[in-house]
Chain A
């Protein structure tokens, strides 16, 4: 009798084990830096809604982590530049000593401060814009991935996303370089004071204009990706399947 009981237990365990082994295993590979959800979906076919959301959250975290790292890097460089800005201010004061008009001296020094402050403010602003564009692009990737999972052709959106990503990265590098620049006035004589001071204003303006153009290019690239995405019929209705589908079916238009 005992033998029968033991045999039954073993049989039961084997049956349960076989069912467990036959069930598909969900292996998850970590998301790489710079990957978007479309790349992840491409790597793993038949991704469930839960897996998709988990991967998306992972990508978002990585993106935010990278953004924070860039900000910290810029901040650290700026702190190092602080002594350089101070040194140039002292140098400017020494050069301004030969100028008799006290009011003009103050204005030049104020412009020096304003120019460097404006550079900081604008590069921070551009960085904010680029971070927001990155987040929008992540949303576009998510929606495109859902469309792809439902059998739609998203090659045009993918191309637009890649272009936008490149544009954002180019603009980010430009902002990073611009953020650590220091502008100084080279005062010659009292008669050339205005033109000497105008030079740093113009230098900053030209530099910021170039960065601004890159930021606008990135914005337009993201807009293009959004417009391309919107061309997919009923794209907002598409979702990832709740569980792994046996076959992918294309929704009827």
Chain B
């Protein structure tokens, strides 16, 4: 009986504590979400603001006329990079490969037949 009376006296004190703890955790979650949103916003803003200035072409040093000095370490063979599709060399290469044809050569068979008439 005494125990029951004691429980009834304690219970009202525990409930507000639990309520307070729940509220606190909700606030922390909300604060966390806001912080994430702000960080995302800053990251997006920085990404947009990032400026990339065109790199000035650097002069490629011409190879020396004399034979290259022997290197101490064996280096990997230098594979020349494939020219870009719209590079001048690639354009010229493609242009030179276009054959318009030889018209007179195409008429050879017809001319041979005509001569046998």
A interface residues with partner B (beta carbon < 8 Å) = 1, 4-5, 8-9, 11-13, 15-16, 19-20, 22-24, 104, 107-108, 110-111, 114-115, 118, 121-122, 125-126, 129, 132-133, 135-136, 139-140, 142-143, 146, 149-150, 193-194, 197-198, 201, 205, 208-209, 212, 215-216, 219, 222-223, 226, 229-230, 234-239, 241-243, 245-249, 251-252
**A16 B40 Cβ-Cβ under 8 A:** yes
**A9 B30 Cβ-Cβ under 8 A:** yes
Taking CB atoms and an 8 Å cut-off, the chain B residues in 61-81 that contact chain A are: none
Least distance between B80 CB and chain A CB atoms (Å)? 14
State whether A24 and B48 are in contact (beta carbons under 8 Å apart), knowing that A8-B31, A111-B114, A236-B87 are contacts in the complex: yes
Contact of B54 among A11, A226, A241 (CB under 8 A): A241
* In the complex, B98 has a CB within 8 A of chain A: yes
> Chain A binding site: helix, strand, loop or mixed by DSSP?
helix
Q: How far is the CA of A110 from the CA of B53 in the complex (A)?
A: 67
State whether A136 and B48 are in contact (beta carbons under 8 Å apart), knowing that A16-B40, A251-B57 are contacts in the complex: no
Complex A-B, nearest 8 residue pairs according to Cβ-Cβ distance, in ascending order: A237-B57, A12-B34, A251-B56, A139-B86, A19-B41, A194-B117, A142-B86, A16-B41
> Chain B binding site: helix, strand, loop or mixed by DSSP?
helix
12 further A-B contacts with Cβ under 8 Å, apart from A9-B34, A19-B42, A129-B99, are A8-B30, A111-B113, A118-B110, A132-B94, A139-B86, A140-B86, A194-B114, A197-B117, A226-B91, A238-B54, A245-B51, A245-B53
**B52 A241 Cβ-Cβ under 8 A:** yes
28 A–B pairs (Cβ distance < 8 Å), ordered by A: A9-B30, A11-B34, A16-B40, A20-B41, A20-B44, A22-B45, A23-B48, A111-B114, A118-B107, A118-B110, A122-B106, A129-B99, A132-B94, A143-B88, A146-B86, A198-B114, A201-B110, A205-B103, A208-B103, A209-B103, A212-B103, A236-B84, A241-B52, A242-B52, A243-B52, A249-B53, A249-B56, A251-B55
